[in-house]
């Protein structure tokens, strides 16, 4: 009997293991790679290991000792991996501007010298007398950094190493996170305000009327997200159907600005996410016994009171799980704000995409991505408690 269980178990393991390996390698590992990109900062110490060992003891005053110079010369002479060296130069240049040209002159001179012991950095380039570059070099050496995660929340370490707020003009990550939460909240509220009465209406109807209402919710779900976004682009533009219709009936004289602003983003996102609000509420309302409302009314409660005291509290689980779902998906949205929003409507995903694909700053992209990932995971965990059958959309 035991052997049979063991056989069944190993058979099941054999079936699950391919996907387990696949997901571990191509899902968990990439996420881990993103997290480590935010914290690992070994581009410089990997290329200049001797310098790293030697410069540790330097106190940051003046310039380091002769030994550190020798170590740097030695490291630069043996550095053959062009790509790694380029990474290191880029990292150093972002810490102290001018480092690129400084190394651009130093590296060929060091490599051309016949005897490394004879190379004097200060004669190769007098800028090596500048403490600034040596400080940048020393600070780039520790293999781990909290620079990215601090920058992600608009903070940094000052000269003495204590954490301070970034200047107001420097970057605006907090503003963008706040905006992301705001837009997601607006979309969630809009979805709830439309979704609750719609789900109630659908549940109260029967026959083809109910089918039409449900089909209208499901059909957009089946339609490509890109098609829906393109459709809203066409509807909302200045010469689009909505402005055209409003002008034709004489309500407005000049087109309303509906696109490339917050309004357009919220309208389109509400359209895309409304099904995720309607479906959970609808399934909860269907489970409420129909005679409860009539019972409440027979006992003297008006329709408003019956709704407020009976139907609303009972449908609350559906509203909550729908809201969580909509909010969770909305904070990670990229395509719709990117295509329908203006410069002031870009959410955190756009910023992450900008750092990763635009400037190849994977450290900062990873740190911001980590924050988004943590928030989403927390929301999903709460959502999992509310809903027994998680049905989750692809965003």
Partner 1 sequence: MFRALQITFGIAIVIFLLMPIFAILPLAFTSSVFLNYPIPAYSMRWMHELTTADVWRTSIVNSLIIGSGATVLATVLGTLASLGMRKGALPMVSLLRTLFLLPMVVPAVVLGVGMQIFLVRLGLASTYLGVTIAHSVLCIPFVIVSVSAALQGIDPSIERAASSLGAPPVTVFRRVTLPLAIPGVVSGAIFAFATSLDEVVLTLFVAGPNQRTLARQMFSSIRENINPTVAAAALLLIIGTLCLGGLAALLRWRQKRSALMTAPSAI
Cα distance between residue 370 and residue 103, in whole Å? 33
Stretch that binds partner 1, among 62-70, 167-175, 235-243, 290-298 (CB under 8 A): 235-243
69's tokens: 């110079």
Judged by CB under 8 A, the residue of 240, 255, 317, 342 near partner 1 is 240
Judged by CB under 8 A, the residue of 296, 331, 337, 341 near partner 1 is 331
Buried b / exposed e along 193-208 (16+ C-beta atoms within 10 A)? eebbebbbebbeeeee
Q: Which residue has the tokens 């006992």?
A: 299
List binders of partner 1 among 136-195 (CB under 8 A): 194
User: How large is the C-alpha radius of gyration of the chain?
Assistant: 30
Count of residues touching partner 1 (by CB under 8 A): 83
Strands (DSSP E) contained in the chain are 155-157, 163-165
287's tokens: 């489970």
Judged by CB under 8 A, the residue of 43, 183, 192, 372 near partner 1 is 372
Nearest-CA neighbor of 137 among 72, 76, 84, 79? 72
Taking the least distance from each CB to partner 1, the nearer of 60 and 303 is 303
* Contacts with partner 1, 274-293, as mask; x by CB under 8 A: x-------------------
Stretch that binds partner 1, among 110-118, 137-145, 287-295, 359-367 (CB under 8 A): 359-367
Q: Cβ-count burial of 24 within 10 angstroms (0-12 exposed, 13-18 middle, 19+ buried)?
A: exposed
Q: Does position 114 bind partner 1 by CB under 8 A?
A: no
Find out whether 164 and 151 touch, Cβ atoms under 8 Å. Answer: no
Q: Does position 318 bind partner 1 by CB under 8 A?
A: no
List binders of partner 1 among 215-234 (CB under 8 A): 216-217, 219-220, 222-234
- Contact residues for 372 (Cβ-Cβ < 8 A; gap 6+): 331, 332, 348, 349, 352
Q: Does position 376 bind partner 1 by CB under 8 A?
A: yes
In the complex, minimum distance from the CB of residue 259 to partner 1, in angstroms, rounded to a whole number: 11
List binders of partner 1 among 12-71 (CB under 8 A): 12-20, 22-23, 26-27, 29-34, 37
């Amino acid at each position: 009997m035991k052997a049979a269980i063991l056989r069944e178990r190993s058979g099941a393991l054999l079936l699950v293991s391919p996907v387990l390996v696949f997901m571990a390698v191509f899902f968990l590992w990439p996420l881990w790679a993103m997290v480590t990109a935010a914290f690992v900062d070994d581009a410089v110490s990997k290329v200049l290991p001797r310098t790293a060992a030697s410069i540790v003891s330097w106190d940051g005053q003046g310039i380091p000792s002769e030994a550190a110079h020798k170590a740097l010369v030695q490291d630069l002479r043996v550095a053959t991996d062009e790509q790694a060296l380029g990474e290191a130069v880029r990292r150093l240049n972002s810490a102290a501007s001018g480092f690129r040209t400084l190394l651009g002159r130093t590296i060929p001179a060091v490599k051309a010298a016949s005897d490394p012991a004879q190379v004097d950095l200060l004669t190769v380039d007098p800028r090596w007398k500048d403490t600034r570059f040596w400080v940048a070099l020393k600070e780039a050496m520790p293999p781990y950094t909290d620079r990215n995660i601090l920058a992600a929340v608009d903070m940094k370490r000052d000269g003495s190493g204590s954490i301070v707020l970034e200047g107001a003009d420097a970057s605006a990550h907090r503003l963008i996170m706040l905006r992301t939460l705001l837009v997601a909240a607006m979309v969630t509220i809009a979805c709830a305000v439309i979704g609750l009465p719609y789900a109630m209406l659908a549940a109260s109807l029967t026959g083809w009327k109910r089918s039409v209402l449900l089909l209208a919710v499901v059909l957009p779900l089946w339609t490509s997200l890109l098609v829906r976004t393109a459709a809203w682009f066409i509807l909302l533009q200045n010469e689009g159907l909505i402005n055209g219709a409003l002008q034709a009936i004489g309500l407005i004289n000049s087109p309303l600005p509906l696109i490339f602003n917050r309004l357009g983003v919220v309208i389109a996102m509400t359209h895309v996410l409304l099904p995720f609000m309607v479906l959970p509420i609808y399934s909860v309302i269907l489970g409420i016994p129909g005679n409860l409302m009539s019972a409440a009314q027979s006992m003297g409660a008006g329709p408003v009171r019956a709704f407020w005291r009976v139907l609303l509290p009972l449908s609350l689980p559906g509203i909550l799980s729908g809201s969580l779902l909509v909010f969770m998906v909305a904070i990670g949205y990229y395509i719709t704000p990117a295509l329908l929003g203006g410069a002031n409507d870009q959410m955190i995903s756009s910023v992450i995409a900008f750092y990763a694909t635009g400037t190849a700053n994977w450290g900062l992209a990873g740190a911001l991505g980590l924050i988004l990932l943590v928030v989403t995971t927390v929301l999903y965990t709460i959502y999992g408690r509310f809903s027994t059958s998680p049905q989750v959309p692809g965003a």
